Protein backbone atom coordinates (compact mmCIF):
# COMPACT_ATOMS: atom_id res chain seq x y z
CA UNK A 1 0.00 0.00 0.00
CA UNK A 2 1.21 3.50 -0.87
CA UNK A 3 1.43 6.44 1.47
CA UNK A 4 -1.85 7.87 0.18
CA UNK A 5 -5.29 6.72 -0.89
CA UNK A 6 -6.50 8.89 -3.80
CA UNK A 7 -10.30 8.87 -3.95
CA UNK A 8 -11.97 10.17 -7.10
CA UNK A 9 -15.02 12.38 -6.65
CA UNK A 10 -17.90 12.82 -9.13
CA UNK A 11 -16.02 15.85 -10.53
CA UNK A 12 -13.02 15.08 -12.75
CA UNK A 13 -9.70 16.19 -11.27
CA UNK A 14 -11.10 16.74 -7.76
CA UNK A 15 -9.66 14.20 -5.30
CA UNK A 16 -10.06 13.32 -1.64
CA UNK A 17 -6.66 12.24 -0.38
CA UNK A 18 -6.25 10.05 2.68
CA UNK A 19 -2.70 9.84 4.03
CA UNK A 20 -1.36 6.69 5.63
CA UNK A 21 -1.07 7.47 9.35
CA UNK A 22 1.50 5.71 11.53
CA UNK A 23 0.20 5.87 15.09
CA UNK A 24 1.47 4.55 18.42
CA UNK A 25 1.43 5.57 22.08
CA UNK A 26 3.67 8.57 21.32
CA UNK A 27 1.28 10.07 18.78
CA UNK A 28 1.32 9.81 15.00
CA UNK A 29 3.35 10.51 11.87
CA UNK A 30 2.16 11.02 8.32
CA UNK A 31 3.23 12.59 5.08
CA UNK A 32 0.80 15.24 3.90
CA UNK A 33 2.37 15.57 0.44
CA UNK A 34 4.90 13.63 -1.61
CA UNK A 35 5.57 14.70 -5.19
CA UNK A 36 6.36 11.16 -6.41
CA UNK A 37 3.14 9.68 -5.02
CA UNK A 38 0.97 12.51 -6.29
CA UNK A 39 2.67 12.53 -9.70
CA UNK A 40 2.16 8.75 -9.95
CA UNK A 41 -1.60 9.36 -9.73
CA UNK A 42 -1.52 12.07 -12.38
CA UNK A 43 -1.48 15.00 -9.96
CA UNK A 44 1.61 16.66 -11.39
CA UNK A 45 1.50 20.11 -9.88
CA UNK A 46 4.05 22.45 -8.38
CA UNK A 47 3.12 24.28 -5.20
CA UNK A 48 4.50 27.80 -4.72
CA UNK A 49 2.70 29.09 -1.62
CA UNK A 50 1.36 27.74 1.69
CA UNK A 51 -1.45 29.49 3.61
CA UNK A 52 -3.00 29.01 7.04
CA UNK A 53 -6.13 30.44 8.65
CA UNK A 54 -7.82 30.12 12.02
CA UNK A 55 -11.58 30.60 12.33
CA UNK A 56 -14.40 30.13 14.81
CA UNK A 57 -17.62 28.14 14.48
CA UNK A 58 -19.96 29.47 11.83
CA UNK A 59 -17.28 31.29 9.83
CA UNK A 60 -17.78 30.72 6.13
CA UNK A 61 -14.94 31.68 3.81
CA UNK A 62 -15.63 31.71 0.10
CA UNK A 63 -16.46 30.90 -2.58
CA UNK A 64 -13.12 32.27 -3.83
CA UNK A 65 -11.05 31.99 -7.00
CA UNK A 66 -8.56 34.07 -8.99
CA UNK A 67 -9.52 35.35 -12.43
CA UNK A 68 -6.25 35.04 -14.42
CA UNK A 69 -3.91 33.31 -11.98
CA UNK A 70 -6.05 30.31 -11.13
CA UNK A 71 -4.81 28.34 -8.12
CA UNK A 72 -4.92 24.61 -7.60
CA UNK A 73 -5.18 23.95 -3.86
CA UNK A 74 -4.35 21.04 -1.57
CA UNK A 75 -6.40 21.78 1.56
CA UNK A 76 -6.58 20.19 5.00
CA UNK A 77 -7.58 20.87 8.59
CA UNK A 78 -5.01 20.52 11.37
CA UNK A 79 -7.34 21.55 14.22
CA UNK A 80 -11.12 21.23 14.36
CA UNK A 81 -13.58 20.39 11.57
CA UNK A 82 -14.88 22.10 8.42
CA UNK A 83 -17.22 21.39 5.54
CA UNK A 84 -15.09 22.07 2.48
CA UNK A 85 -16.58 22.84 -0.94
CA UNK A 86 -15.27 23.11 -4.50
CA UNK A 87 -17.31 24.39 -7.46
CA UNK A 88 -16.29 23.52 -11.02
CA UNK A 89 -15.83 26.74 -13.06
CA UNK A 90 -14.29 25.07 -16.13
CA UNK A 91 -16.73 26.19 -18.81
CA UNK A 92 -15.92 23.21 -21.07
CA UNK A 93 -16.42 20.67 -18.26
CA UNK A 94 -19.40 18.31 -18.09
CA UNK A 95 -19.69 19.30 -14.42
CA UNK A 96 -19.51 23.09 -14.95
CA UNK A 97 -21.38 24.77 -12.09
CA UNK A 98 -21.55 21.58 -10.01
CA UNK A 99 -20.21 21.43 -6.47
CA UNK A 100 -18.71 18.78 -4.24
CA UNK A 101 -18.32 19.01 -0.48
CA UNK A 102 -16.77 16.88 2.24
CA UNK A 103 -15.82 16.99 5.89
CA UNK A 104 -12.15 17.67 6.61
CA UNK A 105 -11.02 17.35 10.21
CA UNK A 106 -8.04 16.82 12.45
CA UNK A 107 -9.48 13.36 13.18
CA UNK A 108 -9.95 12.06 9.64
CA UNK A 109 -6.80 13.81 8.32
CA UNK A 110 -8.35 13.87 4.85
CA UNK A 111 -7.25 16.40 2.29
CA UNK A 112 -9.00 17.72 -0.79
CA UNK A 113 -7.14 18.54 -3.98
CA UNK A 114 -8.99 21.29 -5.83
CA UNK A 115 -7.77 21.83 -9.40
CA UNK A 116 -7.31 25.21 -11.05
CA UNK A 117 -10.47 26.91 -12.30
CA UNK A 118 -12.57 25.96 -9.30
CA UNK A 119 -14.18 28.21 -6.69
CA UNK A 120 -13.43 27.14 -3.12
CA UNK A 121 -14.96 27.75 0.28
CA UNK A 122 -15.43 26.21 3.70
CA UNK A 123 -17.69 26.41 6.74
CA UNK A 124 -16.27 25.89 10.24
CA UNK A 125 -18.28 23.24 12.13
CA UNK A 126 -16.16 22.98 15.32
CA UNK A 127 -15.66 25.68 17.97
CA UNK A 128 -12.38 26.62 16.23
CA UNK A 129 -10.57 25.35 13.17
CA UNK A 130 -7.11 25.77 11.72
CA UNK A 131 -7.02 25.31 7.97
CA UNK A 132 -3.91 25.02 5.81
CA UNK A 133 -3.47 24.79 2.08
CA UNK A 134 -0.84 24.67 -0.61
CA UNK A 135 -1.37 26.68 -3.83
CA UNK A 136 -0.08 26.19 -7.38
CA UNK A 137 0.09 29.94 -8.06
CA UNK A 138 0.71 33.02 -5.96
CA UNK A 139 -2.02 35.21 -4.48
CA UNK A 140 -2.76 38.30 -6.59
CA UNK A 141 -5.23 40.60 -4.78
CA UNK A 142 -6.23 42.31 -8.04
CA UNK A 143 -7.25 38.91 -9.48
CA UNK A 144 -9.42 37.88 -6.52
CA UNK A 145 -13.00 36.95 -7.40
CA UNK A 146 -15.83 34.98 -5.88
CA UNK A 147 -19.38 33.70 -6.01
CA UNK A 148 -21.80 34.20 -3.14
CA UNK A 149 -21.90 31.22 -0.77
CA UNK A 150 -25.68 30.72 -0.94
CA UNK A 151 -26.15 31.11 -4.69
CA UNK A 152 -29.49 29.46 -5.62
CA UNK A 153 -28.25 28.11 -8.97
CA UNK A 154 -25.27 26.29 -7.45
CA UNK A 155 -27.42 25.31 -4.43
CA UNK A 156 -24.73 24.05 -2.05
CA UNK A 157 -26.23 22.03 0.80
CA UNK A 158 -24.22 23.57 3.64
CA UNK A 159 -24.60 21.64 6.96
CA UNK A 160 -26.13 24.50 8.95
CA UNK A 161 -28.04 22.44 11.54
CA UNK A 162 -25.73 23.27 14.46
CA UNK A 163 -24.67 26.71 13.21
CA UNK A 164 -26.40 29.62 14.99
CA UNK A 165 -25.05 32.27 12.62
CA UNK A 166 -23.10 32.20 9.36
CA UNK A 167 -20.23 34.67 9.79
CA UNK A 168 -18.97 36.28 6.57
CA UNK A 169 -16.40 38.94 5.81
CA UNK A 170 -17.75 42.16 4.30
CA UNK A 171 -16.08 41.19 1.03
CA UNK A 172 -17.75 37.76 0.98
CA UNK A 173 -21.18 39.31 1.66
CA UNK A 174 -20.96 41.24 -1.62
CA UNK A 175 -19.77 38.51 -3.98
CA UNK A 176 -21.55 38.02 -7.30
CA UNK A 177 -24.06 35.36 -8.25
CA UNK A 178 -23.24 32.41 -10.49
CA UNK A 179 -25.42 33.97 -13.24
CA UNK A 180 -23.35 37.16 -13.04
CA UNK A 181 -20.19 35.07 -13.29
CA UNK A 182 -21.55 33.30 -16.39
CA UNK A 183 -22.47 36.66 -17.94
CA UNK A 184 -18.90 37.91 -17.69
CA UNK A 185 -18.62 39.72 -14.38
CA UNK A 186 -16.56 36.79 -13.08
CA UNK A 187 -17.56 37.43 -9.47
CA UNK A 188 -15.00 40.20 -9.11
CA UNK A 189 -15.45 43.30 -6.96
- Residue 123 near residue 158, CB atoms below 8 Å: yes
Q: Is domain 4-61+70-141 in CATH 2.120.10.30, yes or no?
A: no
Res 9: pLDDT: 97
Active site residues: 64, 133
The Cα–Cα gap between 147 and 66 comes to: 11
Q: Does residue 60 sit in helix, strand or coil?
A: strand
Res 183: pLDDT: 86
Query: Alpha carbon of 1 to those of 20, 48, 76, 109, 140: distances in Å?
Result: 9, 29, 22, 17, 39
The mean pLDDT values, 10 residues at a time, for the chain of 189 residues are: 89 97 94 94 94 98 94 98 97 96 98 97 98 97 95 98 96 94 68
Res 79: pLDDT: 98
Q: What residues have CB less than 8 Å from 56, skipping those under 6 apart?
A: 124, 127, 128, 167
- pTM for the model stands at 0.94
Res 188: pLDDT: 59
The Cα–Cα gap between 184 and 132 comes to: 31
Amino acid sequence: MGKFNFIKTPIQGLFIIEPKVFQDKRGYFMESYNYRDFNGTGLDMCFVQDNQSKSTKGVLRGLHFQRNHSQGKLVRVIKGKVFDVAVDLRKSSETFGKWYGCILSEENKRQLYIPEKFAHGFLVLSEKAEFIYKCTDFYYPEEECGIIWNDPDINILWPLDNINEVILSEKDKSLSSFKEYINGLEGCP
